[in-house]
C-alpha cells in the first residue's frame, strides 16, 4: 500500500509547523523547545493558525502536498487544537500529514483527534529501549510507554508510521542496540519506516559539558553498519543516510527538502524556503506570540539563495540519498573511489561512503567552491 500520493516534484509544496514544548529537556537536545511554558500552548496554536493566514495573504502559500508537525513534542498539545491548526492549512487531496510524538505523552484522545483530522503518519521518538541508555540520553520514557504508544498507533489505523532511534550513547553496546531493535520489531513486526541518528554533541547542551559522555565515532560507525544490516534483513532499505523504509513508505515531506521544493515554516524558530529565499522565524516564543498577534510575520532572517549556492546545497542533500548525484557533479579521486558506486550515470554512496559522506561531499562540483558541510540530522 502506498501511504500517500506521490506528487510530481514540480507540484510539491510543504508546510513545516514547529511545536516548541517539551516536558523535560533531553541532555543532547539543541532544538528550540521550552519546558516552562505549558500554559502558552493554546495561545501558541492560535498564533500558528494566524500565521498560516498571514502567509496566505502575503502570497507565500500554495496548497500543501505534505505537512509535518514537529518539535519539541507535539503530543503534549491538545490533539483537538492540532486538528484546528491542520484545518487552517489548505492541502491537496492525498497530502501526507506527519505528526511527531513521544511515547510517554501519546494518548488515545490525541490519536483519535489526529485520525479525524486526516493525519496519515505518526513519527514516534523511541531512541532506545534500554533503561541505562535512556538515562545516558537524559530521556524520561520506559519500555511500557513505547509498547502502549505503538498499540495506539495500530489501533487508530494511521496509513503509516515511523520509529526514531538514537545510537552511540556512551554506555550503549551493540547488544543494547540489538535489544532495542529486537524490542521494536517484536512490538511492531510490520514496521515500515525507521530513522536512526548518530548521537551528536551540540554546543550548549548538558551533554557538551561532560566530555566523558561523548560518543565514540568509530563505535558509532560499527553501530551504523549493524543497523543497516538489521533493517535490510527485514525489508527496510536505506533511502537517505539516516532513513530506511519499505517500498512506498518513504517520508514524502523529507524527500521534498532533498528535491529542493518550496516549503512554508510556521511557528517559533521555524525555517521556510519560498521563492528562492530561506527565512527563519524568531526563536523567542513570547516575541512570536506578540508579533503574530500584531498581524505581522515574525521573520528574523531572510537569505536570498543564489542559483549556484542552491545547486550545491541540493547536490549535498541528494548525495545523502539512495538516488545519488549525476556523474558529472562528483570529482572522483583515488581516496574516495570505494566510497561511491556508479549506477545509470548516478554516483551513489556505498555503505562505507555513507559513513564518510562529508569526505565525499567535498568533491562535489557545481560551478562554485565547495564548502564545509555539517552533518544533516532531523528535519528542521
Ligand atoms: S530531544 Fe525531543 S523530546 Fe527531548 S528535549 Fe529535544 S525536542 Fe524535546
**83 within 8 A of 116, measured Cβ to Cβ:** yes
d(Cα 116, Cα 119) in Å, to the nearest integer? 8
Question: The C-alpha cell of 319 is what?
Answer: 548525495
**60 within 8 A of 279, measured Cβ to Cβ:** no
User: What percent of the chain stands above pLDDT 90?
Assistant: 88
Residue from 21, 24, 26, 146 to probe ligand 1 pocket by mutation (most atoms less than 8 Å from CB): 26
Q: Per-residue confidence at 56, pLDDT binned at 50, 70, 90?
A: very high
Q: What's the whole-number average pLDDT of the chain?
A: 93
> What is the pTM (predicted TM-score) of this model?
0.94
338 CA to centre of ligand 1 in angstroms: 37
The pLDDT value recorded for residue 139 is: 86
CATH architecture of 9-257: Alpha-Beta Barrel (3.20)
pLDDT of 43 > 70? The answer is: yes
Q: Per-residue confidence at 118, pLDDT binned at 50, 70, 90?
A: very high
The pLDDT value recorded for residue 371 is: 44
Please state the rounded mean pLDDT for residues 352-378. Answer: 68
Q: Are strands 277-281 and 271-274 parallel, antiparallel or unpaired?
A: antiparallel
More confident residue, 366 or 196: 196
Kindly list the protein residues whose Cβ atom lies closer than 6 A to any atom of ligand 1: 22, 25-26, 29, 31, 33, 71-73, 102, 125
Q: Per-residue confidence at 7, pLDDT binned at 50, 70, 90?
A: confident
User: Domain ranges in the chain?
Assistant: 9-257
**Ligand 1 atom with least separation from CA of 22:** 8
- Whether the upstream peptide bond of residue 72 has omega within 30° of 0, thus cis, is yes
75 CA to centre of ligand 1 in angstroms: 12
> Around 366, how many Cα atoms within 13 Å sit in the side-chain half-sphere?
19
Count of beta carbons in the 10 Å neighbourhood of residue 301: 11
Nearest-CA residue for ligand 1 atom 6 is 29
Lowest mean pLDDT among 80-89, 281-290, 361-370: 361-370
8 CA to centre of ligand 1 in angstroms: 33
Please state the rounded mean pLDDT for residues 177-195. Answer: 98
Count of beta carbons in the 10 Å neighbourhood of residue 101: 25
Residue from 31, 32, 125, 377 to probe ligand 1 pocket by mutation (most atoms less than 8 Å from CB): 31
**64 within 8 A of 95, measured Cβ to Cβ:** yes
21 CA to centre of ligand 1 in angstroms: 9
Q: Which residues pair with 34 in a beta bridge?
A: 21
The pLDDT value recorded for residue 368 is: 45
138 CA to centre of ligand 1 in angstroms: 10
pLDDT of 127 > 70? The answer is: yes
The pLDDT value recorded for residue 370 is: 44
Amino acid at each position: 500500500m502506498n501511504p500517500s500520493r506521490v506528487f510530481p516534484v514540480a507540484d510539491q509544496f510543504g508546510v513545516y509547523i514547529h511545536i516548541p514544548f517539551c516536558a523535560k529537556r533531553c541532555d543532547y537536545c539543541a532544538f528550540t523547545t521550552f519546558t516552562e511554558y505549558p500554559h502558552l500552548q493554546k495561545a501558541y496554536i492560535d498564533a500558528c493558525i494566524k500565521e498560516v493566514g498571514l502567509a496566505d495573504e502575503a502570497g507565500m502559500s500554495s496548497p500543501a502536498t505534505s505537512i509535518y508537525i514537529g518539535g519539541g513534542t507535539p503530543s503534549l498539545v491538545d490533539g483537538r487544537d492540532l486538528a484546528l491548526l491542520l484545518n487552517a492549512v489548505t492541502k491537496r487531496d492525498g497530502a501526507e500529514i506527519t505528526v511527531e510524538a513521544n511515547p510517554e505523552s501519546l494518548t488515545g484522545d490525541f490519536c483519535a483527534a489526529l485520525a479525524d483530522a486526516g493525519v496519515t503518519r505518526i513519527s514516534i521518538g523511541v531512541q532506545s529501549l534500554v533503561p541505562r541508555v535512556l538515562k545516558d540520553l537524559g530521556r524520561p520514557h520506559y519500555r511500557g510507554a513505547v509498547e502502549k504508544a505503538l498499540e495506539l498507533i495500530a489501533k487508530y489505523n494511521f496509513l503509516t508510521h515511523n520509529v526514531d532511534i538514537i545510537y552511540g550513547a556512551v554506555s550503549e553496546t551493540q547488544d543494547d542496540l540489538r535489544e532495542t531493535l529486537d524490542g521494536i520489531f517484536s512490538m511492531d513486526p510490520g514496521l515500515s519506516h525507521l530513522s536512526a541518528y548518530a548521537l551528536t554533541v551540540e554546543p550548549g547542551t548538558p551533554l557538551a559539558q561532560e566530555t566523558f559522555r561523548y560518543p565514540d565515532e568509530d563505535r558509532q560507525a560499527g553501530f551504523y553498519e549493524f543497523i543497516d544490516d538489521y533493517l535490510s534483513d527485514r525489508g527496510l532499505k536505506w533511502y537517505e543516510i539516516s532513513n530506511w523504509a519499505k517500498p512506498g513508505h518513504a517520508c514524502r515531506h523529507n524527500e521534498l527538502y532533498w528535491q529542493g521544493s518550496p516549503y512554508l515554516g510556521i511557528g517559533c524558530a521555524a525555517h521556510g524556503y519560498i521563492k528562492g529565499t530561506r527565512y527563519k522565524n524568531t526563536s523567542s516564543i513570547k516575541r512570536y506570540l506578540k508579533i503574530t498577534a500584531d498581524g505581522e510575520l515574525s521573520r528574523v532572517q531572510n537569505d536570498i539563495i543564489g542559483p549556484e549556492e542552491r545547486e550545491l546545497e541540493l547536490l549535498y542533500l541528494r548525495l545523502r540519498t539512495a538516488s545519488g548525484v549525476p556523474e558529472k557533479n562528483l570529482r572522483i579521486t583515488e581516496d574516495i573511489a570505494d566510497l561511491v558506486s556508479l549506477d545509470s550515470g548516478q554516483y551513489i554512496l556505498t555503505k562505507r561512503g555513507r559513513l564518510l559522506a562529508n569526505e565525499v561531499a567535498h568533491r562535489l562540483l557545481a560551478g562554485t567552491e565547495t564548502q564545509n558541510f555539517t552533518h544533516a540530522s532531523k528535519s528542521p
